Amino acid sequence: MKLGFHIIPRVSNVVPESCLLIFVGLLVGGIIKAMDEKAPVLDSTFFFLYLLPPIILDAGYFLPIRPFTENLGTILVFAVVGTLWNAFFVGGMMFAVCRIQAAGVAHVDLLSCLLFGSIISAVDPVAVLAVFEEIHINELLHILVFGESLLNDAVTVVLYHLFEEFSHAGTVTVMDAFLSVVSFFVVSLGGIMVGVIYGILGAFTSRFTSHTRVIEPLFVFLYSYMAYLSAEVFHLSGIMSLIACGVVMRPYVEANISHKSYTTIKYFLKMWSSVSETLIFIFLGVSTVEGPHNWNWTFVSFTLLFCLLSRVLGVIGLTFIINKFRIVKLTKKDQFIVAYGGLRGAIAFSLGFLLTDSETKNMFLTAIITVIFFTVFVQGMTIRPLVELLAVKKKEESKGSINEEIHTQFLDHLLTGIEDICGHYGHHHWKDKINRFNKSYVKKWLIAGDRSTEPQLISFYNKLEMKQAMMLVESGSAAKLPSIESTASMQNIQQRVAAKRRAMPSISKSREEEIRKILRRNLQTTRQRLRSYSRHDLFSDPYEDDVSEIRFRKQRVEMERERRMSHYLTVPANRQETPSVKKVWFEPEHKVYTYDSGESAGGRAAPPDPGPPDTVGLLDESSQKQSAAAPEADAEQRERKSRRLSDPGPNKDEEGGVSFVL
């Protein structure tokens, strides 16, 4: 069925894969029911210990760190405050519905309704992954909804255990409410700490696996699963522990293990998570057929209505607050997709299955299955047409480049410097502190060999080069591979003889040559233009002079061509001589002299005595007469024209006074 689903494009464009798998489960459950056999039900222990961890590990290990950290505040608001709002809103409204005598559910108390609200309120990561990866939504919306589904596990675990204990005890005190708030921080932060510890252990172990490459993937799966089990033993958040372990472990493990081990980890995780996702949705369909069910129209209908209403109100209200602090605001379309993408899945069903057997449990399970089917089938099938109808931005597949990486690092450093100058310790400031601590201390202990001191640009280039080589080999174009031996292919060979290191710079000559080679091959060669600057003189750029000379020559050619064409086509008019322009030359001690355009400032006669100091910056009457004297009347007229052109000051007065020469 899966092969046929992906082969036939008409089916895959309309129906999500999760809907198809649930349909297969319904079909299998119906066949087993027709044979009078007992169908296997999705057991909670089997689900939480074996089916859920591969999906969460795959999502956490390959989590896009940069968009996740940049939107972490928004994700936490949706995951914590949004889940609390959904739980209490749905629980409170359902308790009000249960007070209606005609509903026939008056036996359900407030704590049971709040327990039901905590189960049904959380967004399911399995359902979100199954739907959002098929519609290729843009990275911002995907990380918001998916990050919320991952991080709301702590809230769900705390509320579930809290209301379950309260429902058995029957009373709630102020101290219980205070301890519930404390337990939330213990569950979330404790799960993260467990994941970080196992992630560091896994990275440290990978330092010593250079001689036994076969077992390298095993350590990744082993430490990740141990992190999940250790968190579940102490009732901490296993999902957050698994995510933290994968995020911490990945950069150091990939620097130590071989490329074959990396490929094994990648494809085994993808296959394992795909199999778990398939089994979860099939078991969900089989369990729906098997039952038992307690159908109550009023309870089921109002549950579905309040789930949709609480999601919409929560997203709108929280986005109104979040947009006051975000630089990139969430638009109305983004809010709609976030609200519409709040899918429920097998986690809610498994939590409901853990309840004590009773008629109330069967009624809760029936309502939970109805909400899951509505969100997966109706919302999952209509979200793709709505995305296209609203023209929501899709995900753009961009190939990484050295140029992009350099500019990204440059902008990070620039924004960090701006925050330091402003005195604002923001996101970029703390990110820079963590990166410096990581380079100075953590990498030396967790990464083996010279790769611990490798610059970030070289590391990125190694990954990029290996990725391009793999694409060429898989496409059958191995002949196009460059003949230069890549450093990425030699990353697992330890150098027996330590290379000499210079004091300044700290990298070796081979690394320097490698950096030069990378920059020559990936960056555009541009003309080097170095300008010298002085407060008193501005030297002209020879490159700009060359460009101006070329432009001037082109203009002269065009003018000559036009003149020749006009000569052949029309009768040429009498050419007017261009008036000579008077120029001014300034001497030290405020002496000013004029000379014609044909003369040079240095090739003229010695200047006369400027006279008394009260005539500074002025020309006396005799010098004016000598410079302006001409036997012809037209010469005097040309001089007046030239003064009007070059001298914005007042003209010579009629009484023979002096005039400003600028």
DSSP string, 348-390: HHHHHHTSPSSHHHHHHHHHHHHHHHIIIIIIHHHHHHHHHHT
Q: What is the pLDDT of residues 51-63, one digit of tens each?
A: 889 988 988 888 8
Asked whether residue 478 carries a pLDDT value surpassing 90, the answer given is: no
Residue 302, token pair as written in the block: 């109002």
- Judged by average pLDDT, the poorest of 146-150, 191-195, 496-500 is 496-500
The mean pLDDT of 275-296, rounded to a whole number, is 85
Q: How confident is the model at residue 599 (pLDDT cuts 50, 70, 90)?
A: low
What pLDDT, on the 0 to 100 scale, is given for residue 486?
Answer: 43
- Mean of per-residue pLDDT scores for the chain: 76
- Cis peptide before 505, with omega less than 30 degrees from 0? yes
- Two tokens at 423? 């005195």
% of the chain beyond a pLDDT of 70: 73
Q: What pLDDT is stored for residue 225 in this prediction?
A: 94
Mean pLDDT, residues 430-457:
79
Are the C-beta atoms of residues 565 and 571 closer than 8 Å to each other? Answer: no
Which of 61-70, 152-161, 617-626 comes out lowest in average pLDDT? Answer: 617-626
CB 365 within 8 A of CB 353: yes
Q: Tell whether the torsion through CA atoms of 312, 316, 321 and 326 is positive or negative.
A: positive
Give the pLDDT confidence score for residue 568 in this predicted structure. Answer: 56
Mean pLDDT value of segment 102-112: 80
The predicted model gives 546-571 an average pLDDT of 64
pLDDT band (50, 70, 90) for residue 493: very low
Amino acid identity for residue 641 in this structure: K
Contact indicator for 293, 362 with CB cutoff of 8 Å? yes
Answer with the residue of higher pLDDT: 324 or 649.
324
Nearest to 280 by CA among 61, 48, 119, 122: 48
CA 87 to each of CA 175, 340, 368, 427: distance values in angstroms, whole numbers, following the listed order? 21, 17, 14, 31
Helix (H/G/I), strand (E/B), else coil: 592 = strand
* pTM of the full structure: 0.67
For 61, phi and psi rounded to 5 degrees? -70, -35
Provide the residue type at 222 as one letter: L
Euclidean distance between CA atoms 612 and 121, whole angstroms: 96
User: Band of the pLDDT at 157, cuts 50, 70, 90?
Assistant: confident
**539-561 b/e (C-beta count within 10 Å ≥ 16 → b):** eeeeeeeeeeeeeeeeeeeeeee
**Top-confidence residue, 276 or 537:** 276
pLDDT band at 467 (very low <50, low <70, confident <90, very high): confident
**How far apart are the C-alpha atoms of 362 and 346, rounded to whole Å?**
16
Please indicate whether residue 278 or residue 400 has the higher confidence score (pLDDT): 278
Nearest CA to 131 out of 496, 379, 462 is that of: 379
**Token digits of residue 344:** 């429920």
538 SS3 class: strand
| pLDDT of 229 above 90 | yes
Q: Is the pLDDT of residue 167 over 50?
A: yes
Q: Lowest-pLDDT range, 364-378, 385-399, 443-457, 605-619?
A: 605-619
For the record, the structure tokens of 437 come out as 């601590």
What integer pLDDT is reported at residue 164 of this predicted model?
80
Q: What is the DSSP letter of 599?
A: S
Which of 481, 450, 446 lies closest to 466 in space, CA to CA? 481
Q: What is the mean pLDDT of residues 194-208?
A: 92
Place of tokens 């074959």: 260
Could you tell me what percent of the chain has a pLDDT over 90? Answer: 12
Average pLDDT over residues 482-486: 43
CA dist list (Å): 422 to 415, 418, 426: 10, 6, 10
Averaged pLDDT for residues 216-229: 93
Most confident of 361-370, 401-410, 435-444: 361-370
pLDDT at position 537 over 70: no
And the tokens for 54? 């591969």
CA-based angle 309:310:316, to the nearest 5? 90
CA–CA gap between residue 185 and residue 192 (Å, rounded): 10
* Rounded mean pLDDT, 192-216: 91
pLDDT score of 662: 44
Average pLDDT over residues 302-315: 91
pLDDT band at 592 (very low <50, low <70, confident <90, very high): low
Greatest mean pLDDT among 196-200, 236-240, 519-523 = 196-200
Q: What is the per-residue pLDDT for 398?
A: 67
pLDDT, one tens digit per residue, over 623-647 is 444 444 444 555 555 555 544 444 4
Tokens of 337: 């997709």
Q: How many helices (H) and strands (E) does the chain have?
A: 29, 2
Instruction: Kindly report whether the peptide bond that precedes residue 607 is cis, defined as omega within 30 degrees of 0.
Output: no
CA distances from 70 to 332, 503, 557 (A): 21, 37, 58
Region 96-116 average pLDDT:
83
Residue 236 is classified by DSSP as -
Tens digits of residue pLDDT in 386-405: 888 888 887 776 666 777 77
Lowest mean pLDDT among 167-171, 252-256, 435-439: 167-171
Q: Rounded to whole angstroms, how far apart are CA atoms 421 and 594?
A: 52
Q: What is the predicted pLDDT for the residue at 474?
A: 64
